[in-house]
Every structure is written in structure tokens, then in C-alpha cells.
Amino acid sequence: MTERAKHSPTGAETTLDAAQREALLRRSFIFKDLPQDLLAGLARITTTRRIPHGQTLFQQGDEGDALYAVITGLIRISVVGRAGKALTLALLEPGDLFGEIALLDGLSRTAAAEAAADCMLLVIERATFLDLLQRDGRLARHIIELLCDRLRENTDRLSEFAFLDLNARLAGQLQSLSIAHGRDTGDGVRIDIKLSQTDLAEMLGVSREAVNKQLKSWSAIGMLRVDRGFITVLDRHRLAAMAQAESGETHASMTKGAGMAKSAGAIAEKTGRKLPGSMGPSNGKPSARR
């Protein structure tokens, strides 16, 4: 069991001057367009905290009391379902912020956060943040935009789970990881995060065995190489094409289906015949099926 992280004593906090704090906040899309005076005010209410590798910052269900930004290290965000199965939602790197939902509503955390490496975090406590939020509507507008973007991301993720098969989802995940954490090695792009097959399975919500089978298949055809937990993408174009092809086929299938439904509806309207289960012309109730 991981140990719960505690607030660092004042003397243990790493010195980070105002300019560095502002620069870190500016790297986040939520604060990047803030006026300088508001950004400076936000930086003044921040503190820093160190979290060692493997330590839990907060658990799913804990009270939300702060917003965090990653200064150094890597934070794993995950949830656990009723059956006890863990799902990794995101790996957050320097410049990323998290904890915004619980910070705003004060309710329990919707996910857990654990240090996947030694970390230093910038912290904004809820009470001081809300005070600033109430004083300046410009910050409130930025928060609204953030939540809208996160909602879109969640919708996209749900679409992937609903319509894409494992090949496309795994290819897309590896492509994203290679862009965010990749290093050119001459023969390919090495993802500089040590990922177990269980880690990848949790990100996709599938079994470790399914990920293992697919990675072996791709290794056999020379698309990637797995070496002691590190994945090197050897054929980036083929990986990208695999993710896009599956997504494109799904979109084309959905579009074709929608077009057929539209055409059938037009024919029914011209002939005066109703499609099975369609709405009646006058009473607004579904017609009876035979």
C-alpha cells in the first residue's frame, strides 16, 4: 500500500522565485492567457511540495482541498471501479495541472493521484484560490474554458472506447506517448517512460494479456521494440496509419449508416409510408411494431 503524502514543513520547501512560478503557471493552457497582474497574484498564493516516487498524493474519495501543478517528475491519475480494477486516466508531466474539479466544488476527489517518479509540485490551496476567483471574473472565465476542454477530452475518450478496437486504441496511445515522451534513437522513437503491460492495459481498460498479445504481434513485424519496460516505435508512419485507418473506417461506417437512414426517411416521407418504429404524423407517439 502506498503511503499518503503529507504537507512538507516550511523549511523543506524548495525555493522557487516569483518569475519561475509565473512561468510554470503560464505553461498551462488554463493560465496561459491571463493578464500579467492576475498571473502574478495567482503565483503569490502558491506553495511547493515534494512527493517521493510511489507515494500517494490523494485517494479517490478524499476531500478536495488544493490544485496542483507538476514542476518536476510524473504523476499518475487513476480510478478504481467497483470490481477493484484500476484504470489509469493520465500521466501528468511538468507544466500539467490537476485537481481542478475538487478544488472548485469542494467535494470528494473523483480520482487518485500517485507519484510515478520523484516529484515537486506547485500547490494552490482551495480557500485562497476561491478568494481570488471571487475577486476577478477573468479567472473564472478561464476555469470555465478548462472544464469545457476536459469534457471534450472525456467525450473523445468515450468515443474511442465505444467505436475503436484494441489495435486502434493501443496504436493511438503509443503514438501520444511517443509525441509527449519520445526521444529519437536513430532507428526509431523511444518512449522514455518505463511502462509495464499492466500500465498500458489500465490506460485502455483492457486485460494485460490482450496488450501483451498485440505488442508481440507488432514486435514480430518490426513496428516496435520492447526492451525491459521501454518501448521504441520503429515505424511511426505505420503506427499512425493504423490508428487513423481504424478511426476513419469507424467514421465512414457511421456516416454511411446515417446517410442510409436519412435516405430511407426521405423515401418514406415522399410515399407517405412510415418506417418501423417511426413517429406518427399527428399524435407524436411511436407507431406500433408488427
**Adjacency order of strands within the sheet including 46-51:** 46-51, 119-125, 66-72, 97-98
Q: For 286, left (φ over 0), alpha (ψ -120 to 50), or beta?
A: beta
Tens of pLDDT along the chain (290 residues) come to 444 444 443 334 457 889 989 988 887 767 777 888 888 988 999 999 999 999 999 998 888 889 899 999 999 998 886 667 777 888 898 888 888 777 777 788 888 999 999 999 999 999 898 888 888 887 887 778 777 877 777 776 666 555 668 888 899 889 888 877 788 888 899 998 888 888 888 888 788 999 999 999 999 999 999 998 899 999 988 988 888 765 444 444 444 444 444 443 443 444 344 333 333 333 333 333 33
Maximum separation of any 2 CA atoms in the chain, in Å: 81
DSSP assignment of 72-117:
ES-EEEEEE-TTS-EEEEEEE-TT-EE-HHHHHH--B-SSEEEESS
pLDDT of residue 24: 84
- Which pairs count as long-range contacts for 157-161, CB under 8 Å and 24+ apart, including other chains? 161/205
Q: Give the Cα separation of 256 and 248 in Å (integer).
A: 12
Q: Which residues contact 236 (CB under 8 A, 6 or more apart)?
A: 175, 178, 188, 189
Contact call for residues 79 and 87 (beta carbons, < 8 A): yes
Burial 252-271 (b: 16+ CB within 10 A, else e): eeeeeeeeeeeeeeeeeeee
Q: Give the Cα separation of 63 and 82 in Å (integer).
A: 20
List the Cα angle 104/105/109 in 5-degree steps.
Answer: 95
List the Cα angle 36/40/45 in 5-degree steps.
Answer: 150
Judge if pTM exceeds 0.75: no
Q: For 157, left (φ over 0), alpha (ψ -120 to 50), or beta?
A: alpha
